[in-house]
A and B are shown apart, each in its own frame.
Chain A
């Protein structure tokens, strides 16, 4: 049975059928296919949710392996596994209040916020370091950056409303043109990648790797 399931051709056929079951109902109005597609998507959502459980198990196994071997930093793995088990227990004790609630609000949320807040300092030092008028192109970039930065400061728009149309023009033309370009490139790239996966030309996606 395991050998049958590992068969690459079978995997590709299942993948192709699943793809067609989701792809075709979007474009073709076939009620029976709509129902099947909905069921398949719901099943996928449930199966994908189980990957969270798999990830926890994988982390446990890996962590225990590192602790047993006393590899570099093994004590951090002890800490990780202990906190993982504690949070699991806390969540079973209730999420509206109690220790789970306390850990989320006192530990997880502030830590997450701090990491995000640090970005502001990095952005500031990057701006201060990188915006140099080295040549004409850099000068133009600097000028555009100035105008947009000035406009982004709310006070400027209140006292100098004339800056708004210039800043919006720069953003709506040059800025969003780049965004649209990216959207087109990424979308086509994703479709092409999907076709390659279904054709079996990306073995690493199927876990068959090692073909570098």
Chain B
């Protein structure tokens, strides 16, 4: 680590920039949420793929399988739940059967009631409450591999027309994506871990990489708070890009300003 650029009394050296950035992020999020302005977010191309997939399932008379991850109520799971809401409404509209395998982690029992409520509400909003079947949201297991076994079994038996796998998945992602391909379903996944992205990009027909899933969720929900979050994240990505570019330029001429700033 290089020397620090400046110090602020009271704040531990080496953590000053982190403190300032955290406060700035919080302030920006608060500002955007409090203005209640509908921040513009472009439509994520993956949403078109999801709508096409559900439509294809409806035409073929096959079910749609949609999962939201194996984690607890985290950033990725909530993004997966928003996409689940959208898929549930599409399924209700088109009359396709929607199967939502739940479980896979210690925290998944906490998320399950939220998912049930989301799917039921979606069917009610589309005026298709009679189509809602709670047995189509089976809790498979709290263990990852047992969950995968159940998920694969569901796909092998029901032969879905499309499989939409969002949220955070670990090594189960590969099993599910490849089996989905083997049964002939359109496979749409989201890669929340860098470890999974490469494999899922090969195995899926369409992948939402990283932030695309939360952005898709924010686009669908039209909630100002979620859109504000995406905007703040984008701002900080631009800041990171600027620091990288300036840092490379500065380092090339022997100036360690950015390095010292990052070490502050």
By a beta-carbon cutoff of 8 Å, the part of chain A in contact with chain B is 23, 26-29, 51-52, 55, 58-59, 62, 71-72, 111-112, 115-116, 118-119, 122-123, 125-127, 129-131, 178-179, 181-186, 188-193, 195-196, 199, 201-202, 204-205, 209-210, 212
Known contacts A188-B236, A195-B25; is-contact A209 B114 (Cβ 8 Å): yes
Q: Closest 9 CB pairs between A and B?
A: A130-B202, A115-B145, A201-B225, A122-B178, A182-B194, A27-B19, A193-B75, A192-B229, A195-B29
Chain A residues with CB below 8 A from B221, complex form: 212
Chain A residues with CB below 8 A from B199, complex form: 123, 126
Known contacts A184-B240, A196-B29; is-contact A28 B85 (Cβ 8 Å): no
Could you tell me the distance in whole angstroms from the C-beta of B101 to the nearest C-beta in chain A? Answer: 13
Chain B residues with CB below 8 A from A58, complex form: 109
A192 & B210 in contact (Cβ 8 Å cutoff): no
Q: Which residue of B lies closest to A182 (CB)?
A: B194
A115 & B148 in contact (Cβ 8 Å cutoff): yes
Known contacts A62-B139, A185-B210; is-contact A125 B237 (Cβ 8 Å): no
A182 & B225 in contact (Cβ 8 Å cutoff): no
B81 sits at the interface (CB 8 A): yes
List the count of A-B residue pairs having beta carbons below 8 Å apart. Answer: 134
A27 & B117 in contact (Cβ 8 Å cutoff): no
Known contacts A52-B106, A71-B135, A126-B174; is-contact A212 B118 (Cβ 8 Å): yes
B171 & A59 in contact (Cβ 8 Å cutoff): no
Within 8 A of A (CB), among B48-76: 73-75
The stretch of B8-16, B37-45, B91-99, B253-261 in contact with A is B8-16
B142 & A188 in contact (Cβ 8 Å cutoff): no
Known contacts A118-B175, A123-B199, A199-B30; is-contact A204 B78 (Cβ 8 Å): yes
Contact of B117 among A71, A184, A209 (CB under 8 A): A209
Could you tell me the distance in whole angstroms from the C-beta of A196 to the nearest C-beta in chain B? Answer: 6
| A and B contact pairs by CB, cutoff 8 A, 22 listed | A26-B12, A26-B15, A27-B11, A27-B12, A27-B15, A52-B106, A59-B109, A62-B139, A72-B135, A116-B171, A122-B178, A183-B194, A185-B210, A185-B233, A189-B233, A190-B75, A193-B229, A196-B226, A196-B229, A201-B33, A205-B73, A212-B85
Q: Which residue of A lies closest to B149 (CB)?
A: A115
Q: How far is the CA of A190 from the CA of B229 in the complex (A)?
A: 10
Q: How far is the CA of A5 from the CA of B36 in the complex (A)?
A: 29
Contact of B33 among A62, A72, A188, A199 (CB under 8 A): A199
Q: How far is the CA of A178 from the CA of B194 in the complex (A)?
A: 8
Known contacts A28-B12, A126-B199, A212-B85; is-contact A188 B25 (Cβ 8 Å): yes
Give chain B's interface residue range (CB within 8 Å of chain A).
35 or more
Chain B residues with CB below 8 A from A55, complex form: 106, 109, 142
A189 & B135 in contact (Cβ 8 Å cutoff): no
Listed residue (A112, A123, A127, A185) with the most chain B CB atoms within 10 angstroms of its CB? A185
Q: How far is the CA of A83 from the CA of B29 in the complex (A)?
A: 48
Could you tell me the distance in whole angstroms from the C-beta of B13 to the nearest C-beta in chain A? Answer: 10
Chain B residues with CB below 8 A from A52, complex form: 106
Q: Which residue of A lies closest to B13 (CB)?
A: A29
Could you tell me the distance in whole angstroms from the C-beta of B97 to the nearest C-beta in chain A? Answer: 15
Chain B residues with CB below 8 A from A112, complex form: 145
Contact of A209 among B22, B30, B113, B148 (CB under 8 A): B113
Write out, one digit per residue, whether chain B residues 88-127 have a CB within 8 A of any chain A CB (1) or not (0). Answer: 0000000000000000001001000110011001100000
B18 sits at the interface (CB 8 A): yes
Listed residue (A26, A119, A188) with the most chain B CB atoms within 10 angstroms of its CB? A188
**Other CB < 8 Å A-B pairs besides A119-B175, A193-B74, 4 of them?**
A119-B174, A179-B194, A188-B232, A212-B117
B203 sits at the interface (CB 8 A): yes
Chain B residues with CB below 8 A from A118, complex form: 175
